[in-house]
Structure 1
Protein backbone atom coordinates (compact mmCIF):
# COMPACT_ATOMS: atom_id res chain seq x y z
CA UNK A 1 0.00 0.00 0.00
CA UNK A 2 2.81 2.40 0.79
CA UNK A 3 4.40 1.86 -2.62
CA UNK A 4 0.99 2.32 -4.22
CA UNK A 5 0.51 5.58 -2.32
CA UNK A 6 3.94 6.70 -3.54
CA UNK A 7 2.71 6.37 -7.12
CA UNK A 8 4.09 2.95 -8.06
CA UNK A 9 1.48 1.73 -10.58
CA UNK A 10 2.79 -1.86 -10.54
CA UNK A 11 2.47 -2.00 -6.78
CA UNK A 12 -1.01 -0.52 -7.05
CA UNK A 13 -2.13 -3.17 -9.56
CA UNK A 14 -0.52 -5.90 -7.44
CA UNK A 15 -2.26 -4.60 -4.31
CA UNK A 16 -5.68 -4.53 -5.94
CA UNK A 17 -5.10 -7.97 -7.46
CA UNK A 18 -4.05 -9.42 -4.11
CA UNK A 19 -7.14 -7.98 -2.43
CA UNK A 20 -9.60 -9.74 -4.77
CA UNK A 21 -9.44 -13.24 -3.20
CA UNK A 22 -9.23 -11.76 0.31
CA UNK A 23 -12.37 -9.68 -0.25
CA UNK A 24 -14.23 -12.58 -1.88
CA UNK A 25 -13.57 -14.73 1.19
CA UNK A 26 -14.57 -11.89 3.51
CA UNK A 27 -17.92 -11.33 1.79
CA UNK A 28 -18.58 -15.09 1.54
CA UNK A 29 -17.96 -15.45 5.30
CA UNK A 30 -20.43 -12.62 5.92
CA UNK A 31 -23.12 -14.56 4.06
CA UNK A 32 -23.31 -12.35 0.98
CA UNK A 33 -25.06 -13.96 -1.99
CA UNK A 34 -22.63 -15.32 -4.58
CA UNK A 35 -24.23 -13.06 -7.19
CA UNK A 36 -23.37 -9.95 -5.13
CA UNK A 37 -19.82 -10.82 -4.11
CA UNK A 38 -18.15 -9.63 -7.33
CA UNK A 39 -20.05 -6.33 -7.21
CA UNK A 40 -19.00 -5.74 -3.61
CA UNK A 41 -15.39 -6.67 -4.37
CA UNK A 42 -15.38 -4.21 -7.26
CA UNK A 43 -16.96 -1.41 -5.19
CA UNK A 44 -14.45 -2.01 -2.41
CA UNK A 45 -11.50 -1.96 -4.82
CA UNK A 46 -12.77 1.29 -6.33
CA UNK A 47 -13.05 2.80 -2.84
CA UNK A 48 -9.51 1.62 -1.97
CA UNK A 49 -8.28 3.22 -5.19
CA UNK A 50 -10.18 6.47 -4.70
CA UNK A 51 -9.63 6.81 -0.97
CA UNK A 52 -6.09 5.50 -0.67
CA UNK A 53 -4.98 8.88 0.61
CA UNK A 54 -7.06 8.32 3.77
CA UNK A 55 -4.97 5.31 4.77
CA UNK A 56 -2.55 6.04 7.61
CA UNK A 57 0.69 4.08 6.99
CA UNK A 58 1.33 4.07 10.72
CA UNK A 59 -1.70 1.84 11.28
CA UNK A 60 -2.45 -1.73 10.16
CA UNK A 61 -3.72 -2.01 6.59
CA UNK A 62 -6.18 -4.92 6.98
CA UNK A 63 -8.61 -3.18 9.39
CA UNK A 64 -8.74 -0.19 7.03
CA UNK A 65 -9.63 -2.39 4.06
CA UNK A 66 -12.14 -4.45 6.05
CA UNK A 67 -13.84 -1.29 7.29
CA UNK A 68 -14.29 -0.15 3.69
CA UNK A 69 -15.60 -3.59 2.73
CA UNK A 70 -18.01 -3.64 5.68
CA UNK A 71 -19.46 -0.25 4.79
CA UNK A 72 -19.82 -1.25 1.13
CA UNK A 73 -21.69 -4.38 2.24
CA UNK A 74 -24.01 -2.40 4.52
CA UNK A 75 -24.63 0.15 1.76
CA UNK A 76 -25.49 -2.71 -0.62
CA UNK A 77 -28.01 -4.08 1.89
CA UNK A 78 -29.58 -0.63 2.23
CA UNK A 79 -29.76 -0.04 -1.52
CA UNK A 80 -31.61 -3.30 -1.95
CA UNK A 81 -33.83 -2.43 0.98
CA UNK A 82 -32.75 -5.58 2.78
CA UNK A 83 -32.78 -5.33 6.51
CA UNK A 84 -29.86 -6.50 8.55
CA UNK A 85 -31.11 -9.21 10.87
CA UNK A 86 -30.40 -9.40 14.57
CA UNK A 87 -27.85 -12.17 13.99
CA UNK A 88 -25.99 -9.96 11.53
CA UNK A 89 -26.04 -7.02 13.92
CA UNK A 90 -24.58 -9.20 16.65
CA UNK A 91 -21.78 -10.23 14.31
CA UNK A 92 -21.16 -6.64 13.25
CA UNK A 93 -21.16 -5.51 16.88
CA UNK A 94 -18.28 -7.89 17.60
CA UNK A 95 -16.10 -6.02 15.15
CA UNK A 96 -13.78 -3.54 16.80
CA UNK A 97 -14.92 -0.25 15.32
CA UNK A 98 -18.63 -1.03 15.18
CA UNK A 99 -19.71 0.99 18.21
CA UNK A 100 -17.72 4.02 17.06
CA UNK A 101 -19.14 3.70 13.54
CA UNK A 102 -22.66 3.29 14.87
CA UNK A 103 -22.31 6.34 17.11
CA UNK A 104 -20.94 8.37 14.21
CA UNK A 105 -23.76 7.16 11.98
CA UNK A 106 -26.37 8.15 14.56
CA UNK A 107 -24.73 11.57 14.89
CA UNK A 108 -24.83 12.05 11.11
CA UNK A 109 -28.47 10.96 10.95
CA UNK A 110 -29.36 13.36 13.77
CA UNK A 111 -27.68 16.26 11.99
CA UNK A 112 -29.27 15.39 8.65
CA UNK A 113 -32.69 15.36 10.33
CA UNK A 114 -32.20 19.03 11.20
CA UNK A 115 -31.73 20.34 7.66
CA UNK A 116 -34.33 20.49 4.88
CA UNK A 117 -35.30 17.02 3.62
CA UNK A 118 -34.30 17.74 -0.01
CA UNK A 119 -30.81 18.75 1.11
CA UNK A 120 -30.52 15.83 3.54
CA UNK A 121 -31.56 13.36 0.84
CA UNK A 122 -29.01 14.76 -1.60
CA UNK A 123 -26.18 14.71 0.96
CA UNK A 124 -27.10 11.18 2.03
CA UNK A 125 -27.18 9.93 -1.58
CA UNK A 126 -23.94 11.57 -2.74
CA UNK A 127 -21.79 11.54 0.39
CA UNK A 128 -23.01 8.48 2.29
CA UNK A 129 -24.47 6.12 -0.30
CA UNK A 130 -21.75 7.14 -2.77
CA UNK A 131 -24.18 7.53 -5.68
CA UNK A 132 -23.18 9.72 -8.58
CA UNK A 133 -24.95 13.01 -9.26
CA UNK A 134 -26.53 11.46 -12.37
CA UNK A 135 -27.77 8.40 -10.45
CA UNK A 136 -29.22 10.57 -7.69
CA UNK A 137 -30.88 12.93 -10.15
CA UNK A 138 -32.46 10.03 -12.06
CA UNK A 139 -33.59 8.32 -8.85
CA UNK A 140 -35.10 11.46 -7.34
CA UNK A 141 -36.49 12.94 -10.57
CA UNK A 142 -34.41 16.11 -10.28
CA UNK A 143 -31.84 17.77 -12.49
CA UNK A 144 -28.13 17.16 -11.85
CA UNK A 145 -27.65 20.86 -11.10
CA UNK A 146 -30.47 20.71 -8.55
CA UNK A 147 -28.71 17.79 -6.83
CA UNK A 148 -25.38 19.64 -6.80
CA UNK A 149 -26.99 22.75 -5.34
CA UNK A 150 -28.83 20.71 -2.70
CA UNK A 151 -25.61 18.94 -1.68
CA UNK A 152 -23.75 22.25 -1.49
CA UNK A 153 -26.46 23.92 0.59
CA UNK A 154 -26.89 20.83 2.76
CA UNK A 155 -23.18 20.59 3.54
CA UNK A 156 -23.07 24.30 4.26
CA UNK A 157 -26.03 23.98 6.65
CA UNK A 158 -24.44 20.95 8.34
CA UNK A 159 -21.12 22.75 8.77
CA UNK A 160 -22.89 25.73 10.27
CA UNK A 161 -24.77 23.49 12.75
CA UNK A 162 -21.69 21.50 13.74
CA UNK A 163 -19.50 24.56 14.21
CA UNK A 164 -22.11 26.16 16.48
CA UNK A 165 -21.95 23.25 18.93
Structure 2
Protein backbone atom coordinates (compact mmCIF):
# COMPACT_ATOMS: atom_id res chain seq x y z
CA UNK A 1 0.00 0.00 0.00
CA UNK A 2 2.92 2.34 0.68
CA UNK A 3 4.14 2.09 -2.90
CA UNK A 4 0.60 2.69 -4.18
CA UNK A 5 0.22 5.71 -1.89
CA UNK A 6 3.60 7.05 -2.97
CA UNK A 7 2.86 6.56 -6.68
CA UNK A 8 -0.65 8.06 -6.53
CA UNK A 9 0.48 10.93 -4.33
CA UNK A 10 3.26 11.83 -6.77
CA UNK A 11 0.82 11.75 -9.68
CA UNK A 12 -1.80 13.85 -7.91
CA UNK A 13 0.80 16.45 -6.87
CA UNK A 14 2.05 16.71 -10.45
CA UNK A 15 -1.50 16.93 -11.78
CA UNK A 16 -2.36 19.69 -9.31
CA UNK A 17 0.57 21.62 -10.79
CA UNK A 18 -1.01 21.26 -14.24
CA UNK A 19 0.84 18.19 -15.60
CA UNK A 20 -1.74 16.73 -18.02
CA UNK A 21 0.10 13.44 -18.74
CA UNK A 22 0.44 12.84 -14.99
CA UNK A 23 -3.28 13.54 -14.56
CA UNK A 24 -4.15 11.09 -17.36
CA UNK A 25 -1.92 8.46 -15.73
CA UNK A 26 -3.51 9.17 -12.34
CA UNK A 27 -7.00 8.59 -13.77
CA UNK A 28 -5.84 5.33 -15.35
CA UNK A 29 -4.35 4.13 -12.05
CA UNK A 30 -7.49 5.16 -10.16
CA UNK A 31 -9.71 3.35 -12.67
CA UNK A 32 -7.82 0.11 -12.10
CA UNK A 33 -7.75 0.58 -8.31
CA UNK A 34 -11.45 1.51 -8.08
CA UNK A 35 -12.48 -1.46 -10.24
CA UNK A 36 -10.95 -3.75 -7.61
CA UNK A 37 -12.31 -1.66 -4.71
CA UNK A 38 -15.93 -1.71 -5.94
CA UNK A 39 -15.71 -5.24 -7.32
CA UNK A 40 -14.93 -6.58 -3.85
CA UNK A 41 -17.75 -4.65 -2.23
CA UNK A 42 -20.64 -5.34 -4.60
CA UNK A 43 -22.51 -8.59 -4.92
CA UNK A 44 -22.06 -10.36 -8.26
CA UNK A 45 -25.64 -9.38 -9.14
CA UNK A 46 -24.58 -5.71 -9.06
CA UNK A 47 -21.23 -6.15 -10.83
CA UNK A 48 -22.57 -4.25 -13.85
CA UNK A 49 -22.72 -1.14 -11.66
CA UNK A 50 -18.98 -1.16 -10.97
CA UNK A 51 -18.18 0.90 -14.08
CA UNK A 52 -20.84 3.46 -13.18
CA UNK A 53 -19.40 3.78 -9.69
CA UNK A 54 -15.90 4.19 -11.10
CA UNK A 55 -17.09 7.01 -13.35
CA UNK A 56 -18.99 8.73 -10.53
CA UNK A 57 -15.95 8.51 -8.27
CA UNK A 58 -13.55 9.76 -10.94
CA UNK A 59 -15.88 12.68 -11.63
CA UNK A 60 -15.99 13.49 -7.91
CA UNK A 61 -12.19 13.26 -7.70
CA UNK A 62 -11.93 15.61 -10.69
CA UNK A 63 -14.40 18.19 -9.38
CA UNK A 64 -13.03 18.09 -5.83
CA UNK A 65 -9.32 17.65 -6.53
CA UNK A 66 -8.53 21.15 -5.30
CA UNK A 67 -9.94 20.24 -1.88
CA UNK A 68 -7.34 17.50 -1.40
CA UNK A 69 -5.07 18.38 1.53
CA UNK A 70 -1.55 17.53 0.35
CA UNK A 71 -0.45 17.05 3.96
CA UNK A 72 -2.67 13.97 4.22
CA UNK A 73 -2.57 10.58 2.45
CA UNK A 74 -4.19 10.64 -0.96
CA UNK A 75 -5.63 7.12 -0.67
CA UNK A 76 -7.54 8.07 2.48
CA UNK A 77 -9.13 10.97 0.62
CA UNK A 78 -9.89 8.70 -2.34
CA UNK A 79 -11.39 6.01 -0.07
CA UNK A 80 -13.68 8.56 1.55
CA UNK A 81 -15.05 9.62 -1.84
CA UNK A 82 -15.37 6.02 -3.06
CA UNK A 83 -17.07 4.97 0.17
CA UNK A 84 -19.68 7.71 -0.09
CA UNK A 85 -20.33 6.90 -3.75
CA UNK A 86 -20.81 3.25 -2.81
CA UNK A 87 -23.18 4.13 0.04
CA UNK A 88 -25.18 6.41 -2.26
CA UNK A 89 -25.38 3.63 -4.84
CA UNK A 90 -26.55 1.07 -2.29
CA UNK A 91 -29.21 3.45 -0.99
CA UNK A 92 -30.42 4.23 -4.51
CA UNK A 93 -30.67 0.59 -5.55
CA UNK A 94 -31.64 -1.18 -2.36
CA UNK A 95 -34.92 -3.00 -2.21
CA UNK A 96 -36.27 -2.90 1.27
CA UNK A 97 -38.32 -5.89 2.25
CA UNK A 98 -41.85 -4.90 3.09
CA UNK A 99 -44.73 -6.99 4.30
CA UNK A 100 -48.26 -5.68 3.88
CA UNK A 101 -50.19 -5.65 7.13
CA UNK A 102 -52.63 -8.27 5.84
CA UNK A 103 -49.82 -10.71 5.05
CA UNK A 104 -48.13 -10.57 8.45
CA UNK A 105 -50.53 -12.96 10.13
CA UNK A 106 -50.09 -15.43 7.27
CA UNK A 107 -46.42 -15.70 8.21
CA UNK A 108 -47.30 -16.55 11.80
CA UNK A 109 -50.34 -18.77 11.49
CA UNK A 110 -50.01 -21.37 8.72
CA UNK A 111 -53.53 -22.35 7.73
CA UNK A 112 -54.81 -25.39 9.58
CA UNK A 113 -51.63 -25.92 11.59
CA UNK A 114 -52.62 -24.23 14.83
CA UNK A 115 -55.59 -25.06 16.97
CA UNK A 116 -57.71 -22.40 18.62
CA UNK A 117 -55.94 -23.22 21.87
CA UNK A 118 -52.52 -22.49 20.35
CA UNK A 119 -53.83 -19.25 18.88
CA UNK A 120 -55.19 -18.23 22.29
CA UNK A 121 -51.80 -18.96 23.86
CA UNK A 122 -49.98 -16.90 21.21
CA UNK A 123 -52.33 -13.95 21.51
CA UNK A 124 -52.21 -14.26 25.31
CA UNK A 125 -48.59 -13.10 25.23
CA UNK A 126 -49.72 -9.68 24.02
CA UNK A 127 -51.47 -6.88 25.88
CA UNK A 128 -55.22 -7.53 26.07
CA UNK A 129 -56.31 -4.65 23.80
CA UNK A 130 -53.75 -5.57 21.11
CA UNK A 131 -54.74 -9.22 21.34
CA UNK A 132 -58.42 -8.35 20.96
CA UNK A 133 -57.76 -6.08 17.98
CA UNK A 134 -55.75 -8.80 16.21
CA UNK A 135 -58.42 -11.41 16.95
CA UNK A 136 -61.24 -9.19 15.63
CA UNK A 137 -59.45 -8.12 12.46
CA UNK A 138 -57.30 -11.12 11.54
CA UNK A 139 -59.34 -14.03 12.89
CA UNK A 140 -62.95 -12.84 12.88
CA UNK A 141 -62.62 -10.72 9.74
CA UNK A 142 -63.83 -7.40 11.12
CA UNK A 143 -62.56 -4.22 9.50
CA UNK A 144 -59.92 -2.15 11.22
CA UNK A 145 -62.48 0.68 11.52
CA UNK A 146 -64.96 -1.61 13.32
CA UNK A 147 -62.32 -2.92 15.72
CA UNK A 148 -61.04 0.60 16.41
CA UNK A 149 -64.55 1.88 17.08
CA UNK A 150 -65.21 -0.94 19.55
CA UNK A 151 -62.13 0.14 21.53
CA UNK A 152 -62.69 3.91 21.23
CA UNK A 153 -59.50 4.28 19.17
CA UNK A 154 -58.69 6.00 15.93
CA UNK A 155 -58.30 3.74 12.93
CA UNK A 156 -54.61 4.71 12.65
CA UNK A 157 -53.95 3.84 16.30
CA UNK A 158 -55.66 0.47 15.82
CA UNK A 159 -53.61 -0.27 12.70
CA UNK A 160 -50.44 0.62 14.56
CA UNK A 161 -51.37 -1.56 17.54
CA UNK A 162 -52.16 -4.49 15.25
CA UNK A 163 -48.95 -4.01 13.30
CA UNK A 164 -46.81 -3.86 16.45
CA UNK A 165 -48.59 -6.84 17.95
CA UNK A 166 -48.05 -8.94 14.83
CA UNK A 167 -44.44 -7.86 14.67
CA UNK A 168 -43.96 -8.92 18.30
CA UNK A 169 -45.56 -12.29 17.56
CA UNK A 170 -43.36 -12.79 14.52
CA UNK A 171 -40.25 -12.00 16.53
CA UNK A 172 -41.31 -14.30 19.35
CA UNK A 173 -42.69 -17.31 17.46
CA UNK A 174 -41.40 -17.18 13.88
CA UNK A 175 -37.97 -15.66 14.47
CA UNK A 176 -37.07 -12.12 13.48
CA UNK A 177 -36.94 -12.36 9.66
CA UNK A 178 -35.27 -9.03 9.00
TM-score (norm 2): 0.44
- Under a length normalisation based on structure 1, what TM-score does the superposition of the two structures give? 0.48
Higher-Rg structure is: 2
